[in-house]
Structure 1
Amino acid sequence: MRRLSATLLTVTAITLSGCSGMPEKSQIWSRSTAFFTQSSEMIAAQSRRLADFAGSLVGSKDQALLQQEIDALFAQPYIDPLTLYIEEHSADDRRAKQLALVAQERDNRCAEIAQTYAGRDATRDNLQRMQRGYLMSCPEDVQDFAARVKQAKPTERPAPSTASAPEAPTPEIEISAAVEEAVSRRQNSNCYLLFTIKNYTQALSACRPIAESGDAKAQHHMASLERARGDFPAAFTWAGRSAGQQHAPGQLILGQLYQAGQGTAENKTKALQLMRQAADQGLTEASYHTGLAYKDGTGVGASVTQADKYLQQAASQGHMPSHLALAELYEKQQPKTARHWLDQAARKGSAEAQLKLADSYAAGASKSADQEQAYIWYSLALLNGNQQAKAGIERQEKLLNEEQLAAARSRIQDGINGKWD
């Protein structure tokens, strides 16, 4: 087997064993070309681990905070906080992994409750006890137990009263209505959750009845799912229904369908109008696409001012493609501004931005060129899986002396560990 380079071995060791497994810097780095001359097979085998580790950089801190959130949830014994977490964050793609774990934990706890009540008498008192404690998070289980109670002791309805005053609803009807409402709420939540965690097959069946009932969010999900399936007319219909309720994601996808001419005649002006409406409601992805339209002059005259407005609006929410678009917007006229946005995306782990930032430092004018910085970012881009960076590393290595290389490699190690200056 061909031997891995010192760099790749080091990153792998850090990933597996943490700081305690780190060798001395003199062992970590070598000026030999083994740093970048890896076989494609070895790179492919390591790429996922390297991308997750070196590519996450600052993002890994965010994931650690999210993990702390669910660790705290799992440490407490109640079920409803899990349900509240799912409902609060059901549309947050950043939390897709955490949402799936929380949903699984909630379902496991509900299964334990169902098993407990399966061994209890099917009485009204037990039903009320179960409803008080678990209706919010385990409505289907409460519903099943209610069916047992009804079957064990059917409700006897009184004869119609001749009095003029209307009869008060029986307790059994009140319980049934509460259960049905909770089940409906859970079905909506399931639709949103399945879409966010990208379980699209189940989301399609879960969201359809919710969308048909008029839920704008579910209608957007149906539009997105149908678009992914290639059924553009269905996607256009669902998107229109969602956008008609001023739902920003619905407006965005309807605008995208108009822009691409999918399911309808192409209309880039109408597309921009819809995307801008969604952006003005604060939807990050809509701000990005609106900014691109102004940047490229799609459906409107090109405008750097408007492009900057909407792209910065998205970038302020940590939207990495917007950082790259802003860098491209200012690349020719304001290279320092372009470099700033590349730096932002590179520090967030974008391999594309890392490579472009390295190119910027390597090819800059005499006052803005920085060969050491170029070497650093080429190296981080390679560790992040971008094979185009190899040639840049070879070129930059020849331009640096031993002292500069040592300093650069120390900073690369800091970058991998998220320690930016």
Structure 2
Amino acid sequence: MRRLAVCFAFVSLLGACATPSQPVAPAQEDHSGEVKGLLAQDNIDPLTAYLDQYADDAGRASAVAEVRTERDKRCAAVAKLYDGREKTPANAARLRTAYRHSCPAVVEVFQRQVAKAVRNTPAAAAPAPESAPPPADAPGPAAAIAPSGAIAGQLLDNCYLLVRIENYQEALDACAKPAELGDAKAEDGMAVSFRALRKYPDALVWARRAAAQNLPDGEYQLGDLLHRGAGTARDDAEALRYFQKAGQEGVAEAQYAAGSMVARGEGTARDDAQARAWYALAADQGFARAELSLGEIYATGTGVAPDAEQARIWLTKAAGQGLAQAQRELGELYMGGRGIPADDYQAYVWFSLAALNGDAAAAAPRDVAAARLTSEQIDQAQHQIRRTMEDKR
């Protein structure tokens, strides 16, 4: 009673009294400005990035709830839009590209509808098997390997399609028969599907079979499993061999992986020049991570003379593909003016895009750059940022 009396005596100063059994809610900070800015732009991913960053921030609970409600409302609108669209692989790819991060449930439902539509399509007649037997030393399963033409038809088409739209559980059913008959792409489809389902030993078996047929994608899959030690002991030397083999056949992911391993000295001696050469091959194909790596190499002068203009070119390419780290590093290049003219306007644009794409480290330098701009410049930059985000949808 005495404790309550003291509490009541100070109620005018404290505003309320809490007993030990009454939890004290965390103070809610005013984030209405940042929420208003988020809701004013039309894209969904910035909302999801905000939720990912602040979901556990008790001081932002009301702001998080408001953003989540708006994100869910926009996902519902996307679902309604695609409900009226034809259930085709092309539409599934567009939906997945634009909304996979923020509306995964919507993407999954549509992909199931596409798979069902494919299954209900009348099967194409398969041509008669070729009469010539495979060579005795042909790679793959011990049983005779049927040529791809002999396995053609709806089952094989379904296998390729289901892997492409990432419906991996059903892909296993569609790919099993053609893979058992030796179709290399179906074998790779089995490897990709088992890997996505985290059944790594099975993925390894099928990746080895696809790689044994010199399928570049299968060689990349096998290299990646060996490098990660997924389903087997990690083997960097063997992983690098498969990455290089697939990279020589033009697989950009393998070229980038080979460059990264050589840059770190994994499975071989470190070689900056060779790493740069592998990155360049992948970057020339528009592989964003390789473009970022080249930009960093020229910015830091790793194994080559520093070249700020080359760094700007490659970072811009990667940033233009929406890679948040590249956007932040490009902002740093413009803000620092290291070898190129300092440009706070461009720094603000790229820091803002990086922050909207979930790079928390970009927020502070964005605010520094903003303080150096006029209100007119900020308005113009915001227009450019919105246009860039809309173009990525």
TM-score (ref. length: structure 2): 0.63
5 Å matches for 1:238-249?
238-249=206-217
Query: In structure 1, how many angstroms separate the alpha carbons of the residues matched to 2:247 and 2:62?
Result: 44
Gaps of 5+ in 1: 16-37, 54-66, 112-136, 144-180
5 Å matches for 1:163-202?
185-202=153-170
- Please say if 1:360 is aligned against 2:330: no
Q: Which amino acid aligns with 1:275?
A: F
Q: Which amino acid aligns with 2:203?
A: A
Query: In structure 2, how many angstroms separate the alpha carbons of the residues matched to 1:303 and 1:313?
Result: 16
Which position in structure 1 is the counterpart of 2:143?
A: none
1:139 to 106, 114, 123: 123
Identity %: 30
- Please say if 1:410 is aligned against 2:383: no
Which position in structure 2 is the counterpart of 1:216?
A: 184
Query: In structure 2, how many angstroms separate the alpha carbons of the residues matched to 1:256 and 1:108?
Result: 33
Distance 1:45 1:268, change over 3 A: farther
Distance 1:280 1:96, change over 3 A: farther
Which position in structure 1 is the counterpart of 2:284?
A: 316
CA contact (8 A) 2:296 2:311 kept: yes
- CA RMSD across the alignment: 4.3
CA contact (8 A) 1:358 1:373 kept: yes
Query: In structure 1, how many angstroms separate the alpha carbons of the residues matched to 2:346 and 2:122?
Result: 55
| Higher mean C-alpha deviation, range 377-386 or range 273-282 | 377-386
Which position in structure 1 is the counterpart of 2:353?
A: 380
Query: In structure 1, how many angstroms separate the alpha carbons of the residues matched to 2:349 and 2:69?
Result: 21
Which position in structure 1 is the counterpart of 2:363?
A: 390
| Higher mean C-alpha deviation, range 362-371 or range 341-350 | 362-371
- Structure with more relative contact order (C-alpha pairs < 8 Å, separation 6 or more): 1
Which position in structure 1 is the counterpart of 2:38?
A: 8
Which position in structure 2 is the counterpart of 1:166?
A: none
Query: In structure 2, how many angstroms separate the alpha carbons of the residues matched to 1:341 and 1:276?
Result: 23
**Structure 1 segments (4+ residues) deviating >6 Å:** 47-50, 93-98, 100-103
Distance 1:355 1:182, change over 3 A: same
The alpha-carbon deviation at position 250 of structure 1 amounts to 0.9
CA contact (8 A) 2:256 2:278 kept: yes
5 Å matches for 1:54-73?
none
The alpha-carbon deviation at position 238 of structure 1 amounts to 1.3
Query: In structure 1, how many angstroms separate the alpha carbons of the residues matched to 2:327 and 2:64?
Result: 18
Q: Which amino acid aligns with 1:369?
A: A
Q: Which amino acid aligns with 1:285?
A: E
Distance 1:139 1:9, change over 3 A: closer
SS at match of 2:299: coil
The alpha-carbon deviation at position 229 of structure 1 amounts to 3.8
Query: In structure 2, how many angstroms separate the alpha carbons of the residues matched to 1:287 and 1:281?
Result: 9
Distance 1:409 1:382, change over 3 A: farther
Distance 1:307 1:40, change over 3 A: farther
Distance 1:41 1:188, change over 3 A: farther
5 Å matches for 1:153-164?
none
Gaps of 5+ in 2: 1-29, 45-58, 75-81, 101-106, 127-148
Which position in structure 2 is the counterpart of 1:300?
A: 268
Query: In structure 2, how many angstroms separate the alpha carbons of the residues matched to 1:109 and 1:327?
Result: 43
CA contact (8 A) 1:285 1:314 kept: yes
The alpha-carbon deviation at position 108 of structure 1 amounts to 5.5
- Please say if 1:269 is aligned against 2:265: no
Distance 1:45 1:276, change over 3 A: farther
Q: For each residue in 1:225-249, what CA deviation from the matched residue of structure 2 results, as whole angstroms up to 9, or x when unmatched?
A: 3334444332222111110100011
The alpha-carbon deviation at position 191 of structure 1 amounts to 1.2
CA contact (8 A) 1:220 1:242 kept: yes
1:250 to 198, 204, 218: 218
Q: For each residue in 1:54-81, what CA deviation from the matched residue of structure 2 results, as whole angstroms up to 9, or x when unmatched?
A: xxxxxxxxxxxxx9xxx9xx7xxxx9xx
Q: Which amino acid aligns with 1:239?
A: A
Q: For each residue in 1:289-309, what CA deviation from the matched residue of structure 2 results, as whole angstroms up to 9, or x when unmatched?
A: 112122222222223332222
SS at match of 2:250: coil
CA contact (8 A) 1:355 1:389 kept: yes
Q: For each residue in 1:105-147, what CA deviation from the matched residue of structure 2 results, as whole angstroms up to 9, or x when unmatched?
A: 7975996xxxxxxxxxxxxxxxxxxxxxxxxx6128x99xxxx
Query: In structure 2, how many angstroms separate the alpha carbons of the residues matched to 1:355 and 1:40?
Result: 27
The alpha-carbon deviation at position 416 of structure 1 amounts to 2.5
SS at match of 1:417: helix
Which position in structure 2 is the counterpart of 1:226?
A: 194
1:235 to 203, 206, 222: 203
CA contact (8 A) 2:318 2:326 kept: yes
CA contact (8 A) 1:294 1:301 kept: yes
SS at match of 1:139: coil
5 Å matches for 1:38-117?
39=60, 42=63, 46=67
Query: In structure 2, how many angstroms separate the alpha carbons of the residues matched to 1:110 and 1:231?
Result: 25
The alpha-carbon deviation at position 211 of structure 1 amounts to 1.2
Q: For each residue in 1:145-165, what CA deviation from the matched residue of structure 2 results, as whole angstroms up to 9, or x when unmatched?
A: xxxxxxxxxxxxxxxxxxxxx
Q: Which amino acid aligns with 2:348?
A: Y
Query: In structure 2, how many angstroms separate the alpha carbons of the residues matched to 1:259 and 1:340?
Result: 31
SS at match of 1:330: helix
Q: For each residue in 1:289-335, what CA deviation from the matched residue of structure 2 results, as whole angstroms up to 9, or x when unmatched?
A: 11212222222222333222222222222221112222233331124
CA contact (8 A) 1:139 1:182 kept: no
Larger CA Rg, structure 1 vs 2: 1
SS at match of 2:41: helix
Query: In structure 2, how many angstroms separate the alpha carbons of the residues matched to 1:366 and 1:258?
Result: 41
Q: Which amino acid aligns with 1:7?
A: G
The alpha-carbon deviation at position 356 of structure 1 amounts to 1.9
The alpha-carbon deviation at position 215 of structure 1 amounts to 1.2
Which position in structure 2 is the counterpart of 1:170?
A: none
